[in-house]
Structure 1
Amino acid sequence: MEYALLLAPSSNRVYTAGAAALGAAELAAFSVGALDGRLGPVAPIELAGRTYLGFSVADGPLGERDLAYLANVSSAFALFERVEGDLLRPIAGQPLDRYDDDLISIQKYSGKTNEHFTKLLLNVTVLASAFADRMLERKLTVLDPVCGRGTTLNQALMYGWDAIGIERDQQDLEAYSAFMKTYLKRKRLKHNAEMTPLRREGKKLGRRFDVTMAPDKAAHHAGETQQLTVFEADTSLARSLLKKHSAEVVVADLPYGIVHGSRGPKGIARGPQELLETALPGWVQLIMPGGTLGFSWNTHVAPREEAIALVEKAGLRIVPAEGFSHWVDQGITRDIVIARRD
């Protein structure tokens, strides 16, 4: 059976240029992690002047569960069965999304990671974990230890999962908390949100922002709520902030060292290599057995071999993740590393 996936448009012209290659790599991850390797090779095809990703399934048509997985591909706009030649039949799939997509798209600010890539990174990290076959039913917990203004956290919430973030920048925390409070009120979603002091051993470290939310009143009354927590703290303190095995997956878009600056407040190094050396041991303790770490970074300031060496030194097993390297901007080539805690 032959299929064609129509790629979603992106407001970022550079990302759009690489979307086909990234989408093919993501589909391969879905095949291995959720579809028992049943998808054939994925390749771009042109139909009526539009770019699709074409692939085959050797053992018959995709089932309802298969389609439910593929509905969450980050680059997917619509999926079709190829009936004959260029004739396509649309196929419906129900994504995990619990909220309107402006939860992801409405925030605009300098340095924001493309939301399609954020979703891709979360997807491939979960698909490499022991929980991939349950991601449609199980409420996972996602930790972003360098969460910025919460793009990854919002994608986790969109999926119906719980989200935990750590961000030391006071302005980012204030901007994110203001956005979430406004969003929840504007959408009239049942919720509780509060900012409280963050203390350890009698000392104030910063603040924490906590939200309990649900997509509708019925879910809230049934106790089907989601938790969002963001700590205002340095990520090197992650283990002191959270209990061991707090999350199924840890997902991070590391500072690039160019656009975001190589140093943060008080001269603290923010390059990806220095950040991993300092924070990775604490992050690893927070991952559940069978869980995964997925991060993206600028390979110009930290070679892939060095990043992998640091991850292996921390006791994680590297999961093959090919085809994700792509050009972002002058001086920035972004790639992904995925590792699993066995």
Structure 2
Amino acid sequence: MNVAIQISPQSKSAYFQSYIDVAQKELAYLCKDVSFEYACIGTLEFLFADVEEDKLWELVHLSFVQGLYAQEGRFLIPLEVLPKFSLHEDFVFGSKYRGKTNETLTQLLLNVGLATIRNDIPESDTVLLDPMCGRGTSLLWALRYGIDSFGLEIDPKAMDDIQRHLKKWTKIHRQKHSFRQSFLGVKPNKKKQGVCIDFQAEQTAFKAVHGDCRSIRKVFKERTFSLIVTDIPYGIQHHVGQGTRNPLNLLRESIPVWGDSLQKGGAMVIAFNRNIPKRNALLDVCIASGLDIVDFSIPHRMSESIVRDVMICKKG
């Protein structure tokens, strides 16, 4: 059937001047057998595609989608196809704070990751890890998709923020849930070192732990993950003690550890500033860690000094 995929204005705030290119690349990666073309009607923008009806559910979960329409001659008929998310969107989009990973980008990272592993690992068996999870945007997106997840974050204040956001949105939306805060491997302390949050809602759970991104084995023992998704901070937190804003040395230590925790057929999806580190340097680290590079790149300029890109690699 002929379908018009409306591009959401939110994608402009995520991908800036490259939002059309990013939308086309996400669609092409998730639906490799679908042909499409871009068109603008008035102020509305669309990707027109010829798809099988069973593809509609996949299309409506694309990060840039505002809505789907059936094309009948000169008319566009709205389709009643809704994404099947487990939690209200406020859990992901509602809380705003400095340094938050863009919600739309995070959904794209999850989408391309799931597409990369779908022939090897069923989505029902998928377990996600974000080793630099911040305030948990990726973990909350995983919850919305019905995927269990785990996160590590070096900033102990993040755990208080996650708790506060969860308390707010579960109360506002009367969301049934379970919440537990504990300390992992350490005695309770006021500095919140080693604090751990367990949250469950709609038969899906996440665990967020205060800890170093290199300490996956120490924290999660022998647990393995089918998908690692992370947005590397742009020179702020995880490598400030090294006297440089370039996270490459940290990544040389981290990515082999992350790769060891990946299941066979699993994938790693990393968003990064391709100015620091350079894309080829990051690819070299992944290759040296025994990972296979997947052909996918969506460079888009965020500011004068930051050109964000996404890299995908897979464990054979």
Which residue number corresponds to residue 198 of structure 2? 210
Unaligned runs of 5+ in 1: 32-36, 215-224
CA distance in 2, matches of 1:185, 1:305: 46
Question: Post-superposition shift, 1:243?
Answer: 3.8
* SS in structure 1 of the partner of residue 285 of structure 2: helix
Equivalent residue in structure 2 for 1:39, among 34, 40, 56:
34
Question: Post-superposition shift, 1:237?
Answer: 0.5
Q: Deviations over 1:59-87 (max 9, x none)?
A: xxx223x1111110000011123222x42
* SS in structure 2 of the partner of residue 72 of structure 1: coil
Question: Post-superposition shift, 1:205?
Answer: 5.7
CA distance in 2, matches of 1:178, 1:268: 32
CA distance in 2, matches of 1:11, 1:73: 11
For the pair 1:174 / 2:146, whether they are aligned, the reply is no
* Conservation of the 8 A alpha-carbon contact between 1:162 and 1:227: yes
Which residue number corresponds to residue 48 of structure 1? 42
Which residue number corresponds to residue 296 of structure 2? 321
* Conservation of the 8 A alpha-carbon contact between 1:245 and 1:289: no
Question: Post-superposition shift, 1:164?
Answer: 0.7
* SS in structure 1 of the partner of residue 230 of structure 2: strand
CA distance in 2, matches of 1:49, 1:10: 14
Equivalent residue in structure 2 for 1:332, among 300, 306, 315:
306
For the pair 1:5 / 2:29, whether they are aligned, the reply is no
Which residue number corresponds to residue 128 of structure 2? 142
Which residue number corresponds to residue 220 of structure 1? none
Question: How is 1:120-199 mapped onto 2 (pairs within 5 angstroms)?
Answer: 120-130=108-118, 134-135=122-123, 138=124, 140-199=126-185
CA distance in 2, matches of 1:88, 1:132: 37
CA distance in 2, matches of 1:287, 1:227: 19
CA distance in 2, matches of 1:298, 1:243: 30
Question: Post-superposition shift, 1:151?
Answer: 0.8
* SS in structure 1 of the partner of residue 275 of structure 2: coil
Which residue number corresponds to residue 101 of structure 2? 113
* Conservation of the 8 A alpha-carbon contact between 1:3 and 1:54: yes
Which residue number corresponds to residue 63 of structure 1? 53
Q: TM-score, normalised by structure 1?
A: 0.84
Q: Deviations over 1:28-81 (max 9, x none)?
A: 1111xxxxx3201x3321123311112334xxxx223x1111110000011123
Q: Deviations over 1:80-104 (max 9, x none)?
A: 23222x4212223231311111111
Which residue number corresponds to residue 82 of structure 1? 71
* Conservation of the 8 A alpha-carbon contact between 1:262 and 1:270: no
CA distance in 1, matches of 2:243, 2:262: 25
* Conservation of the 8 A alpha-carbon contact between 1:239 and 1:283: no
Which letter maps to 1:28? A
Unaligned runs of 5+ in 2: none
CA distance in 1, matches of 2:238, 2:147: 32
For the pair 1:231 / 2:209, whether they are aligned, the reply is yes
Question: Post-superposition shift, 1:256?
Answer: 1.4
Answer with 13-22 or 101-110: which moved more: 13-22
Distance change in 2, residues 1:96/1:134 (3 Å): farther
* SS in structure 1 of the partner of residue 255 of structure 2: helix
* Conservation of the 8 A alpha-carbon contact between 2:17 and 2:301: no
Which letter maps to 2:3? Y
Equivalent residue in structure 1 for 2:249, among 264, 267, 274:
274
Which letter maps to 2:108? L
Distance change in 2, residues 1:292/1:200 (3 Å): farther
The alignment of Structure 1 onto Structure 2 pairs a total of residues equal to: 313
Q: Give the % identical residues.
A: 27
Q: Deviations over 1:108-129 (max 9, x none)?
A: 1111122111101111111111
* SS in structure 2 of the partner of residue 113 of structure 1: coil
Question: Post-superposition shift, 1:212?
Answer: 2.3
* SS in structure 2 of the partner of residue 74 of structure 1: coil
Distance change in 2, residues 1:191/1:9 (3 Å): same
Distance change in 2, residues 1:11/1:108 (3 Å): farther
CA distance in 2, matches of 1:303, 1:68: 36
Which letter maps to 2:53? G
CA RMSD of superposed structures (Å):
2.4
4+ residue runs of structure 1 moved beyond 6 angstroms?
none
Answer with 104-113 or 125-134: which moved more: 125-134
Distance change in 2, residues 1:213/1:261 (3 Å): closer
CA distance in 2, matches of 1:144, 1:268: 25
Equivalent residue in structure 1 for 2:271, among 274, 296, 300:
296
Q: Deviations over 1:193-225 (max 9, x none)?
A: 121111179x996111111222xxxxxxxxxx2
